[in-house]
Amino acid sequence: MLDEATIAVIADDLAQAEQTRSKIGLLTAKYPDMTVEDSYAVQNEWRRRGEAAGRRLYGHKIGLTSKPMQQATGITEPDYGAIFADQVYDTGSVIDHSQYSGVRIEVELAFVLRDELRGPDVSLFDVLRATEYVVPALEVLSSRIEMEGRTIVDTISDNAALGAMVLGGRPVAVDAVDLRRVNALLYRNETIEDSGVAAAVLDHPARGIVWLANKLAEHGDVLQAGETVLAGSFTRPMWVHPGDTVHADYGELGVITCRFE
């Protein structure tokens, strides 16, 4: 395990990279013995600093839950990160592209929790009972660590590459639609770039929430009532640039649109 001083140095480097919209080198190259638990310790320090500065925890994201995402990154196990309220946008927003680095978009579903979920041994049915509603979401990815050759340790330390979240479309109860069969068409500048179905996330998007609740229990944490959780992408990450308009059509669940400047 890395000592607290080293964890603080890594958190400082990541904070500087975020401020300057740049990337630091691979942590796994600089700290070859760094473990997954070390990387979550770095992420927890980032979250602690944010909350100490007055930022409000809005929820969590789950990453790398689908084959398309695992194939795109070369990483084969899920991870998670924290979402602050100031990282959340509504559909129709104009987003400043320059505040992020390596900007990409993913298509997801977000679960808004009515009840607390406390692992271990949380089941799929526990998640469905605890969910108030599900709503379409886009995740904006931003990388503060070099992308080429990164491992799960690098990604977790980078708060699972979260930049922002865009919410929109039609909220639905978990029994109002077949969540496995929710599909989406992803457009950039009126050209379709990708499509996917939510079952690509661990065969059911709620299984991502199951994994997260049980993983958080290993770290002494819980999913709180009122949190919003990004369940994982069912499309590959799509690069976006200044001037791009993104449009995601979720069929009966509505649409999300945003523009980057």
Q: Which domains can be identified in the chain, with CATH numbers?
A: 4-260 (3.90.850.10)
pTM of the model: 0.93
Residue 65 pLDDT level (bands cut at 50, 70, 90)? confident
pLDDT in tens, 70-88: 666 666 678 999 999 999 9
Position 1 confidence tier, pLDDT thresholds 50, 70, 90: confident
pLDDT tens digits for 149-194?
888 899 999 999 999 999 999 999 999 999 999 999 999 999 999 9
160, two tokens: 């699972």
Confidence of residue 64 (pLDDT cuts 50, 70, 90): confident
Q: What is the mean pLDDT of residues 189-201?
A: 96
Query: What is the mean predicted confidence (pLDDT) over 98-112?
Result: 96
| Nearest alpha carbon to residue 165 among 250, 225, 83 | 83
* Mean pLDDT value across residues 130-154: 95
**Per-residue pLDDT, 74:** 64
* Percentage with pLDDT > 70 across the chain: 96
pLDDT (0 to 100) of residue 185? 98
On the question of pLDDT at 66 being above 80, the answer is: no
Helices 4-20, 36-52: crossing angle, 10 deg rounding: 60
> What mean pLDDT do residues 189-211 have?
95
